Amino acid sequence: MRVFIVKANEAHTDYDFSLKDLPGTSGRIDLICRALNSAFHLSHSFRKNVRVYVTLLGPPSPPKTIRFEGPKLRPKILNPDELSIAKVIIKALNAGKNLKGSSTKELEVLPGVYVSNMTFEDVIRKNIRMNLYVLEEGGADIMKVKFPRNNVAFILGDHIGLSEEDLKTLEGIAKKISIGPKAYLTSHVISYVNIHLDRIGVP
Amino acid sequence: MRVFIVKANEAHTDYDFSLKDLPGTSGRIDLICRALNSAFHLSHSFRKNVRVYVTLLGPPSPPKTIRFEGPKLRPKILNPDELSIAKVIIKALNAGKNLKGSSTKELEVLPGVYVSNMTFEDVIRKNIRMNLYVLEEGGADIMKVKFPRNNVAFILGDHIGLSEEDLKTLEGIAKKISIGPKAYLTSHVISYVNIHLDRIGVP
């Protein structure tokens, strides 16, 4: 299983935004949509071996975490384009209104799509037994990293990135890695990591 | 300069589609939008050294070719999300209505955005002095390819791909290369190629 954990610092936690202008009104849910496209989609095929957690931390009721579970997801539900993925996120946010308090209990919204009130730290805690990697400029070159055959989890920020505090929390827990000499978009990083794991034969 | 040439087999050549459903109504202009995002966008930055040609071959008036010229493009015009990129494409298609006949003459629609009636073959001919690569399953492993320092051009298909005829035309002109063991989405391939060129220091 490949896991991607995305921290979306400003992504709205209720459907109070416009599908006509995701970048301007949703706290960059467009970015999350492209990240999910990169995580799951292949040409005429779908990566069943991927799990994605997105933690949304924008207004009005953070945190909300949506988990996308490759083995159970119906490819027809998660189309490649931004708008149809955004509609799945909206469905999850609408269902998430019924979640009370700080429980990590998840609600199944659609097959393979779960919403909860989990914080970013909760998600990390849930994945603590995985081999954790944090994608950061200046990290170890991905080409030189020896990945285990299984249970790899990659932590990524959004346009704002991970905070100093996040990186401190992750110190000693997650290995800092980097895919190249520039600062790349979250979705491009996920594409690159997925293809790299394909190349080196990590399932 | 890095050049990406995308053949969009079914992409509509007039604005007769709905922005609310690009995958279902436009012949997959959503795919072109993501390809342009991958070609140009970095985190809080923009690749000025990239040129993209997209040849649209869908109804009602094919062919139309849109050229995006990194050095002249205003990053604010080409936002990362699908809808705002689609609006730039629509602007080009609207302007393209005035183009008559099979001339390869280009019309500047916005700074760095040009539309013409060029065919896919015209675009290849225009780039014949470049070092041409065609992205195809089973091509030479990109890691083993020695790229020149300049003038690299990559030819890609869309969800339908390049035809047998295209590949025959490109034989002896373009080197077949591949980025990994699976069939990848056009936008993911562009992301991977861009990052790979960054890594090996091709400008």
Half-sphere exposure of A107 (CA within 13 A, CB side): 17
Contact predicate B111/B127, CB 8 Å: no
Give the ipTM: 0.97
Helix (H, G, I), strand (E, B) or coil at B182: coil
pLDDT (tens digit per residue) in A67-116: 999 999 998 899 999 999 999 999 999 999 989 888 889 999 999 999 99
Q: What residues of chain A lie within 8 A of the CB of B142, using their CB?
A: none
Within 10 A of A50 (CB to CB), how many other CB atoms are there? Answer: 23
User: Measured between alpha carbons, how far is B100 from A145 in angstroms, rounded to an integer?
Assistant: 55
Residue A63: asked if its preceding bond is cis (omega within 30°), the reply is: yes
Q: Which residue has the tokens 């760095």?
A: B112
Binding positions of B for S-adenosyl-L-methionine are 135, 157
Helix (H, G, I), strand (E, B) or coil at B87: helix
| Minimum distance, in Å, between the CA of residue A93 and any CA atom of chain B | 20
Q: Is A122 on the interface with B (CB under 8 A)?
A: no
Q: What residues of chain A lie within 8 A of the CB of B26, using their CB?
A: none
Interface contacts (A, B; CB < 8 Å): 111
More confident residue, B1 or A103: B1
pLDDT (tens digit per residue) in B27-44: 999 999 999 999 999 999
Q: Smallest Cα–Cα separation from A58: which of A12, A97, A18?
A: A12
Q: What residues of chain A lie within 8 A of the CB of B24, using their CB?
A: none
Binding positions of B are 135, 157
Superfamily of domain B2-200: SPOUT methyltransferase, trefoil knot domain (3.40.1280.10)
Binding positions of A for S-adenosyl-L-methionine are 135, 157
Q: Is A79 on the interface with B (CB under 8 A)?
A: yes
Q: The whole model's pTM is what?
A: 0.98
DSSP bridge pairs for B134: B155, B176
Within 10 A of B148 (CB to CB), how many other CB atoms are there? Answer: 9
pLDDT (tens digit per residue) in A3-58: 999 999 999 999 999 999 999 999 999 999 999 999 999 999 999 999 999 999 99
Q: Which among B21, B42, B187 is the nearest to A184, CB-wise? A: B42
Domain extent listing, chain B: 2-200
Helix (H, G, I), strand (E, B) or coil at B131: strand
